[in-house]
């Protein structure tokens, strides 16, 4: 059988570029890696069939430069582009330009990206699809006065969020009226700086929710499925650190209910390819739509481990016009945990780029490492700090925790600081072990650590 595409250009770097390359190789699809001058020695470049240097280290002159990416695709004759996550993965304009050049975008249509990319508009779309959303503004707020009236209406605490938001930026939690105006202004300024769009909206703030997201997939024949959930409540500064599947909080009934809501929304927008619908689950079992990510996620491997599916392969198949062959409601098989290994100081959370003097990755049963790192590789200071993801799979949650602790112990990195020691402490924390985690987990965790006798 002929390969699905003539050649796929991977418009990304790091571990996700390598992950996409692995899927392409198994499907017999030739690959093109693009890289900045800082990433010449990266593994995705080493393993790709062809590679093109697209510019200097700064992302806006390389990985974010649409004209250079298009030029790279045209020079190499690539007929499809996989954007990975981050960079241009949720950039509707890039998807449109590719379509104009007759290059297939491996992702949803530009219209859907745009529609779900504006978070306040996505809330309205979810509401129209019959998916619960938290009480809050129906569109972007126009003034601090409007914000105040809305906040009084829904009741404090409230959270201000950037409509164009992502990565936890432009978000402010407001507990009292007197702080609203200044918080509104700082959130809007931060959003303008980060996303070039200062629009802000507001919703009720839940004090102890869980972040639970559903993996969805749609094909070009209108079929939409979900492939279960990921529990992502272990976060610092609203950024995920460790994810697992299944969520310890979901009963089969709640999984069915939330999964059906996710599918309803994806069907409503005629979703095609891989997407994630993020929910907050409140203590009383109510759940609310938070946002949709129209791309593959960092944490997709935990879903792969408990479903036995290859999500990146599925993305390629769907983009090539093949139908989905799986149904919603797969029972999760065993338990999977992912730890994000960042080049960071584990307590200060400051970046720690540099050379990996030792880089020994663990193996053995049920252990997977997604990384572009190797001994003597230099982690450049210009990009996000993820150097790898350690993923385990075991029969149940306690065994997955034990396996992760073993794998973390056997993961030896020297030369830079990493989040490995932090993960070891999290996995031994009694609250984490109990499974009773909310998005406030890390705050409580740091508190418990500081009270521990040395
Ligand atoms: P971003 O797109 O910047 O990642 P999200 O809207 O996905 O922002 O929210 C990130 C995190 O912020 C959530 O996982 C959750 O921990 C917290 N959060 C967001 N909205 C609320 C809310 N209404 N109540 C409580 N926590 C929230």
What is the reported pLDDT for 349?
Answer: 85
For residues 81-85, average pLDDT? 98
Distance CA 127, CA 237 (A): 27
Burial of 425 (0-12, 13-18, 19+ CB in 10 A): middle
> Cα(168) to centroid of ligand 1, in Å?
7
The confidence band for 309, taking pLDDT boundaries of 50, 70 and 90, is very high
- Closest by Cα among 215, 190, 243 to 390: 243
- Beta-strand ranges (E) seen in 313-423 are 335-342, 354-355, 358-360, 367-371, 378-379, 386-394, 412-414
Which is higher by pLDDT, 279 or 453? 279
For residues 98-118, average pLDDT? 97
Distance CA 192, CA 162 (A): 9
For residues 33-56, average pLDDT? 97
* Percent of the chain with pLDDT strictly greater than 70: 100
Q: Residue holding tokens 């930026």?
A: 169
Q: Could you give the residue range(s) of every CATH 3.40.50.20 domain in the chain?
A: 8-106
pLDDT surpassing 90 at residue 201 = yes
Residues with CB under 6 A from ligand 1: 134, 159, 161, 165-168, 171, 203, 205-206, 209, 211, 235, 238, 278, 280, 290-291, 439
Give nearest CA residue, ligand 1 atom 13. Answer: 238
For residues 168-190, average pLDDT? 93
For residues 177-202, average pLDDT? 93
What is the reported pLDDT for 36?
Answer: 98
Give nearest CA residue, ligand 1 atom 23. Answer: 205
> Cα(238) to centroid of ligand 1, in Å?
6
Q: Could you give the residue range(s) of every CATH 3.30.470.20 domain in the chain?
A: 210-451
For residues 150-160, average pLDDT? 96
What is the reported pLDDT for 347?
Answer: 77
pLDDT surpassing 80 at residue 348 = yes
What is the reported pLDDT for 122?
Answer: 97
What is the reported pLDDT for 73?
Answer: 98
Which CATH architecture does the domain made up of 210-451 adopt? 2-Layer Sandwich (3.30)
Say which CATH topology domain 135-204 has: Dna Ligase; domain 1 (3.30.1490)
What is the reported pLDDT for 334?
Answer: 98
For residue 55, what are the contacts with CB-CB under 8 A and spacing of at least 6?
A: 36, 37, 61, 62, 65, 68
What is the reported pLDDT for 52?
Answer: 98
pLDDT surpassing 90 at residue 290 = yes
Give nearest CA residue, ligand 1 atom 8. Answer: 168
For 94, the token pair is 């890039």
What is the reported pLDDT for 295?
Answer: 98
> Cα(208) to centroid of ligand 1, in Å?
12
Residues in the chain: 454
Consecutive H or E run containing 319: helix 311-319
pLDDT surpassing 80 at residue 128 = yes
The mean of the pLDDT values for the chain is: 96
162 Cα nearest atom in ligand 1: 3
Helices and strands, counts by H and E, the chain: 15, 20
Q: What is the pLDDT of residues 245-273, one digit of tens each?
A: 999 999 999 999 999 999 999 999 999 99
Give nearest CA residue, ligand 1 atom 14. Answer: 211
pLDDT surpassing 80 at residue 454 = no
* Residue 169: strand, helix, or coil: coil
Which CATH architecture does the domain made up of 8-106 adopt? 3-Layer(aba) Sandwich (3.40)
Active site residue 295: yes
Let me know: does 323 contact 221? Beta carbons within 8 Å: yes
pLDDT surpassing 90 at residue 133 = yes
Distance CA 226, CA 271 (A): 12
Give nearest CA residue, ligand 1 atom 10. Answer: 238
Q: Which of 169, 295, 340, 368 is catalytic?
A: 295
* Percent of the chain with pLDDT strictly greater than 90: 94
Q: Could you give the residue range(s) of every CATH 3.30.1490.20 domain in the chain?
A: 135-204
Q: What is the pLDDT of residues 401-438, one digit of tens each?
A: 999 999 999 999 999 999 999 999 999 999 999 999 99
- Beta-strand ranges (E) seen in 107-218 are 158-162, 172-174, 200-204, 210-218
Pocket test for ligand 1, best of 86, 276, 286, 439 (most atoms within 8 A of CB): 439
Pocket test for ligand 1, best of 234, 290, 295, 438 (most atoms within 8 A of CB): 290
């Amino acid at each position: 059988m002929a390969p699905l595409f003539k050649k796929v250009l991977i418009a990304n770097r790091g571990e996700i570029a390598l992950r996409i390359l692995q899927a392409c190789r198994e499907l017999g699809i030739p690959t093109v890696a693009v890289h900045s001058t800082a990433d010449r020695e990266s593994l995705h470049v080493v393993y790709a069939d062809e590679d093109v240097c697209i510019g200097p280290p700064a992302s806006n002159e390389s990985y974010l430069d649409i004209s250079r990416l298009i030029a790279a695709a045209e020079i190499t004759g690539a007929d499809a582009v996989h954007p990975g996550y981050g960079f241009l993965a949720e950039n509707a304009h890039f998807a449109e330009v590719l379509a104009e050049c007759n290059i297939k975008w491996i992702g949803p249509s530009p219209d859907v990206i745009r529609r779900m990319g504006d978070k306040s508009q996505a809330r309205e779309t979810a509401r129209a699809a019959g998916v619960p959303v938290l009480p809050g503004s129906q569109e972007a707020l126009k003034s601090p006065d409007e914000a105040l009236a809305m906040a009084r209406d829904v009741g404090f605490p409230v959270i201000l969020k950037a409509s164009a938001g992502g990565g936890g930026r432009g978000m402010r939690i407001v507990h009292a009226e007197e702080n609203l105006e200044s918080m509104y202004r700082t959130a809007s300024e931060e959003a303008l700086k980060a996303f070039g769009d200062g629009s802000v909206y507001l919703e009720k703030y839940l004090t102890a929710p869980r972040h639970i997201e559903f993996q969805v997939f749609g094909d070009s024949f209108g079929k939409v499925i979900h492939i279960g959930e990921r529990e992502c409540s272990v976060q610092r500064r609203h950024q995920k650190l460790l994810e697992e599947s299944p969520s310890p909080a979901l009963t089969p009934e709640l999984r069915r209910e939330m999964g059906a809501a996710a599918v309803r929304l994806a069907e409503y927008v005629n979703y095609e390819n891989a997407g994630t619908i993020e929910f907050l689950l409140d203590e009383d079992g109510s759940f609310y739509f938070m946002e949709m990510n129209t791309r593959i996620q960092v944490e997709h491997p935990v879903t792969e481990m408990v479903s036995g599916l290859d999500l990146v392969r599925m993305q390629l198949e769907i983009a090539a016009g093949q139908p989905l062959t799986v149904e919603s409601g797969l029972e999760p098989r065993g338990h999977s945990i992912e730890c994000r290994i960042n080049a960071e100081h584990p307590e200060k959370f400051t970046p720690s780029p540099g050379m990996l003097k030792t880089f020994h990755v663990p193996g053995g049963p049920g252990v997977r490492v997604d990384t572009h790192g190797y001994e003597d590789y230099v982690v450049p200071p210009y990009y996000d700090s993820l150097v790898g993801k350690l993923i385990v799979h075991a029969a149940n949650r306690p065994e997955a925790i034990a396996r992760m602790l073993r794998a973390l112990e056997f993961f030896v990195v020297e030369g830079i600081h990493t989040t490995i020691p932090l993960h070891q402490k999290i996995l031994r924390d009694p609250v984490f072990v109990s499974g009773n985690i909310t998005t406030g987990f890390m705050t409580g965790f740091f508190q418990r650590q500081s009270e521990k006798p040395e």
